[in-house]
Chain A
Amino acid sequence: MAEFLQAAVNGLLQGGILALVGLGFSLVWGVTNIVNIAHGAFVVAGAYVGWELHDSLGLNPLLGMLVAAAVLFVVGYGLQRGLVNLVVNAPVWMTLLLTFGLQLLAVNVFVKVATSDYRSIPTGWAARSLALGDVRVPYGRLVALGVAVVCTAGLVVFVERTRTGRAIRAAGMDRSTARLMGIDVRHVYAVTFGLSAALAGAAGVLVGMVGTFSPPDAARYTLFSFVVSVLGGLGNMGGALAGGLLLGLVQAFVGQYLATTLVNAAAFAVLIAVLAVRPSGLLGRPFYETRVEAR
C-alpha cells in the first residue's frame, strides 16, 4: 500500500513538472499552429538563467524563476516578432523547420558558452521531503507541482476570460480576419510566443532545482512537451496539466509494477490508447480541425 501511494505521489509530482514543461508548448501549438521544436531550448535557457542568478547573486530559485520567466518572455516575444512572424503564412511545416534550426543554434550556443556540464540549482529545502507515514513528498517537486497548477489556472483564465486571450484565440483561428477585427496579430502572436517561452523558462528553473540539466536535454523536453500537449488536447491548457499528470502517473505505476525500462513504451501505449478513444486528446475540442489557414 505504501508503495502504491508512493508511486502515486511520485507520478503526480513528476507529472507536475512535465505539465509545466509542456504547457507553453501546447499554447503555441494550439493557438498559432507552430510546432516549436525550440521549446526545450527555452526550458534549458530558463534553467541557465536561474542557475546563473543563484550562482552569482545567490538568488533564491523561486525568485529566479520569476526573473527567468521575464527574460524568456522578452526573448520569445522578440523571436516571434522578428523571425517567426516572417514565415507564419508559409506552409505549416516550414515553421517546424525554422524552430528546428533555432533549436540547433540555441543548444550549440549553450554548449559553447556554458559547456555541456551538468548543472543543478542547489537548495537545501528542495531535496528534503515531507514524511506522511511511509510516503515521502519531496518539497521541491511539490512546489513544482504547485507552480504548474497555478500557471495552468492562470493561463486558462487569461486565455478563456480576458479580451487579450480571446484575441489570441481568434488570431490563431483566422489571422487575416482577426486583423479585420482590429487585432494586432503580430503583437498577439508575439505575446503568445513570449508567454510560452516564459512558462518554459519557469519550468526550466524548477527542473534545475529538483534535478539536473545540460544543453542536450533540450530535445527531451521538446519530446515531453509534444506528448503532454497532445495527450491533453492541443491548445487546451487544462489538458496539458491533465496530460502531464497522466503521463507521470503512468510512468510511475509502470515503473513500480512492471519494469522501469518499459516506462516510455507504456507512456506511448497509453497515449495511443487515449487517442484511439478520444482522437482530440483528453480534454481536446476539435477546434484545430476547423482552423482556417487562409490569409
Chain B
Amino acid sequence: MTRAGAVVAAAAFAVLCLLPAGLAPGDVRTMTSVLLFATLASAWNIIGGFAGYASFGNVAFFGLGGYSVAVLMTKASWPFLPSVAVAAVLSAAFAALVGLPVLRLRGHYFAIATLGVAEGLREVVVNLPRLTGGGAGITIPTLGARATTHYPGTTGFYWYALAVLVAAVAVSAAVSGSRFGYGLRAIQLDEAAAASVGVRTTAAKLAAFALSAALTALAGGVFAFQQVTIYPERLFSVEITVLMVVMAVLGGAATVSGPVVGAFTLRLLDEYLRRHFLGTHLIVFGAIIVAAVVFLPQGVVRCSADAWRERRLGLLDTVRAYRL
C-alpha cells in the first residue's frame, strides 16, 4: 500500500470507530450492514478481482458461514466466537473442495458453475430440516437458558462487522502487494503466460478461493447471529452475490479500496433513496447505476485516481474513450 493509501485507510478506520457514538441505533445497524457488504465485496474481489475468476456463487460461503454458526450455536450449544471461527474454516475447506473441479473452468463457465454450487447448497439446506430448519428457517436462541452467548445488541454487532471488514481489507492489502497477489493478477491477465513464468496456477487459485470463502463466511456468521432467525432464501440469495460483484466492480475490481468504496457508495445510496423515494427508489437507483457505469467505466477508485492525477474530471472524455 502507498503511504497516502495508508493514511486514508487509518483516517477511515478512525471515523468508523467513532461512528457508533454519534449515530442512533437504527443507523448503526444500517452501518453494520454497510460494513458487512464491504466485507463481502472485498472478499469477492480476492477471487473475482485479483484472480479474475468471477465467482457468481460466493453467497454459498455467506450462507454456509451463517448456517454453520446457527447450527453450532443451536444444536451444539457453542458460543458465537468459536462457531464463527469454525464456520470460516469450514467454508474455506468447502471452497477448496469444490474449487478443485470448478476452478478448472474459465470465465463465464466458472461463473455459472459457482452459481450452481450456491443454488445447490441452498436446496441442500432446505432439504435438511432436522439440522437446518429447512425452509422455515433456524432461530439462534438469544433469550433464556438456551442462549449460549449474550446477544451483543446493535452496537456490538457493529464492532463485529467492523472487525470482520478490517480483517478483509488487511487480507486484501496483504495479498495485493505480495508475490501471491502478483501471481493472482498474472492469472487474471493471462493464465497461460502466468504458468509459463512459474506461477503455480492451481494452488494459487484454490488459495484465493478459500481465502475469499473464509472472509465471506465470517460476514455470514455475524449476519446470522444478528438476524437471530435465518432463512435459506435470504442467506443463499443470488441477489447478494450480484451485489458483491456490482459493488466490487463499481468501486474498482482488483484494487484494495475499490470494493469497500463501492459497497459504501452503493449501500448508503440505496439506503438514502429507500428512505426518500418510497416505492420508487429502485427505479432511481437503477438509473444512477446506469449513469455511473457510463461516466465511470473504470470504477470509482480508478476514475477518481485518474482525475486526481490529471487534476481534471473529464466525464465526457471518458465516455468518448470507451464508447464504440
Contacts and interface: CB of A to CB of B under 8 A. Distances in A.
Q: Do chains A and B touch in the complex (CB under 8 A)?
A: yes
Interface of A: 29, 35, 37, 83, 85-91, 93-98, 100-109, 112, 175, 185-186, 189, 219, 223, 226-227, 230, 234, 259, 261-262, 264-265, 267-269, 271-272, 275-276, 279-281, 288-289
Contacts of A226: 112, 115
A189 B324 contact: yes
Given A108-B283, A261-B127, A268-B119, A186 B293 contact: no
Contacts, number: 155
A106 B280 CA distance: 11
Among B102, B106, B250, B289, max chain A CB count under 10 A is at B289
Nearest to B57: A268
Interface residues of B, number: 49
Among B108, B113, B250, B299, max chain A CB count under 10 A is at B108
Contact of B289 (A89, A97, A275, A288): A97
Among A88, A91, A262, max chain B CB count under 10 A is at A91
B293 A94 contact: yes
5 contacts: A97-B289, A100-B242, A103-B286, A268-B115, A268-B116
Interface in B70-117: 101-102, 104-109, 112-113, 115-117
Interface string B281-294: 01101111110111
Nearest to A234: B108
Majority SS at the chain B contact face: helix
Nearest to B320: A86
B289 A101 contact: yes
B246 interface: yes
Majority SS at the chain A contact face: helix
Nearest to A280: B109
B100 to A, nearest CB: 10
A98 B283 CA distance: 14
Interface of B: 54, 101-102, 104-109, 112-113, 115-117, 119-120, 123-124, 126-127, 238-239, 242, 245-246, 249-250, 253, 279-280, 282-283, 285-290, 292-294, 297-299, 319, 321-324
Among B239, B242, B246, B293, max chain A CB count under 10 A is at B293
Among A98, A109, A280, max chain B CB count under 10 A is at A98
A187 to B, nearest CB: 10
A127 to B, nearest CB: 30
Contact of A90 (B127, B242, B293): B293
